[in-house]
Amino acid sequence: MGFGPGPLEGLVMCLESSFWRGKRVLLTGHSGFKGGWLAIWLKHLGASVTGLSLPPQTTPNLFSLARISECLTSHWCDVRDAKALSALVRRVEPEIVLHLAAQPLVRASYADPLGTYATNVMGTAHLLDALRGLDSVRVAVMVTTDKVYRNQETPYPYREDDPLGGHDPYSASKAASEIVISSYRDSYLKHQGVALATARAGNVIGGGDWSTDRLIPDAMRAWSTGTPLVIRRPDAVRPWQHVIEPLAAYMVLAQHLWHEPTLAGAYNFGPSTHTAATVKQVINLALSAYGTGVVSYESDSKQLHEAGWLALETARARVQLGILPQWDLNKTITQTVGWYRAIQEGTDARYVCLQQIQEYSEQAWAA
């Protein structure tokens, strides 16, 4: 599926295909949910992309269904392997690095805290050290999470300068990686001419995610097989956003950093603060969009700790980068459920991704 010039070249956020055409981009985590979408988009924009990741961790997975290997040069490499990672990075000589590789699940981090820290903290340090002294690189965007903040369970949107913290190993590992990134920026990369930033976004939903213990994938698995969806934290509040929103923001951030390295730092990306919604609200919308299914709300006294209330203040991204959310929660849910429905009906996965990217871009252009 091909798009001509127009909407994709003129997002309200100034996402420029002319900028990305021919750029050498290193994308870590390309076999994952967000990484797969980003690989498709970068390919369409004309970037020369090298992917570095572990093989897909779920069956099914977006990497296979959308033929992501056709969108880039794919390498299987563990970010915990410093030597192999450094050799690959230096061979590729990227101009822009987009770091998405991670152990991304809260509950999995409780089961394997050391593996989570090794991947999210030391894996990030390994990548940053591979960039040290590499003349080709000019921009690096390191994706962390909205859960890097010391959560006080108060209805207060977190700002980029709020204290970092984390109760669960996943959140703590991402907060720790923020400190590592800041140290490498100040100690090495800023003096090397590399603009290094972190992107804090979370509760991303969209088609192509089959991870365990995630709300929408769990719902799609349950409803497609006629089994009840069990929900244990219906009142938890999160800043939900469609996967396209933060991916567009990462690329816009990279563009700004290329031209204005002084913008390096931390950025929150998410929906407007007042649109944060409960799990129950999201599931009700998803059930309406899917058309059939059963939801069971159950309490679990043994459930692992997760934040009950979380929202982000995104003024910095709005003012300094011009980034504005385009899809409200209802649109986010209908697009997400529509993706899974289309795949169930036999539609090509990459086609559906590009179709939704086009629709998003046209709306942004019209805005």
Give tens-digit pLDDT for 315-343: 999 999 999 999 999 999 999 999 999 99
Name the CA dihedral angle for 217, 222, 228, 234, rounded to a multiple of 10 degrees. 0
pLDDT band per the 50, 70, 90 thresholds, residue 5: very low
The percent of residues in the chain predicted with pLDDT above 90, rounded, is 83
Q: Residue range 5-16: average pLDDT?
A: 51
Mean residue pLDDT of the chain comes to: 92
The pLDDT of residue 4 is 35
Say if residue 28's pLDDT is above 60.
yes
User: How far is C-alpha 302 from the chain's CA centre?
Assistant: 29
Strand pairing partners for 25?
49, 96
56: three-class secondary structure by DSSP: coil
Pairing of strands 204-205, 24-28: unpaired
pLDDT in tens, 110-167: 999 999 999 999 999 999 999 999 999 999 999 999 999 998 877 789 999 999 999 9
* Cβ atoms of residues 334 and 287 within 8 Å: no
Say if residue 2's pLDDT is above 80.
no
Domains of the chain from N-terminus onward: 16-204+240-271+309-326+348-366 (3.40.50.720)
The pLDDT of residue 334 is 98
Say if residue 346's pLDDT is above 80.
yes
Helix, strand and coil content of the chain, in percent to the nearest 5, comes to 50, 15, 40
150: three-class secondary structure by DSSP: coil
Q: Residue range 68-75: average pLDDT?
A: 98
- The span from the CA of 305 to the CA of 303, in Å, is 7
Residue, of 233 and 62, whose pLDDT is higher: 62
Residue, of 311 and 340, whose pLDDT is higher: 340
CA separation (Å) from 81 to 127, 137, 208, 279, 346? 10, 21, 28, 37, 38
* Cβ atoms of residues 329 and 275 within 8 Å: yes
- The span from the CA of 230 to the CA of 237, in Å, is 17
pLDDT band per the 50, 70, 90 thresholds, residue 10: very low
The pLDDT of residue 310 is 82
Q: Residue range 308-318: average pLDDT?
A: 87
Say if residue 301's pLDDT is above 60.
no
269: three-class secondary structure by DSSP: coil
The pLDDT of residue 311 is 86
What ranges in 187-243 are assigned the alpha helix state H? 190-192, 215-224
pLDDT band per the 50, 70, 90 thresholds, residue 304: low
Say if residue 305's pLDDT is above 80.
no
pLDDT in tens, 204-261: 999 999 998 899 999 999 999 999 999 988 998 888 999 999 999 999 999 999 999 9
pTM above 0.85, yes or no: yes
Say if residue 3's pLDDT is above 60.
no
For the record, the structure tokens of 279 come out as 């799990």
The pLDDT of residue 302 is 58
DSSP-derived letter for residue 297 is E
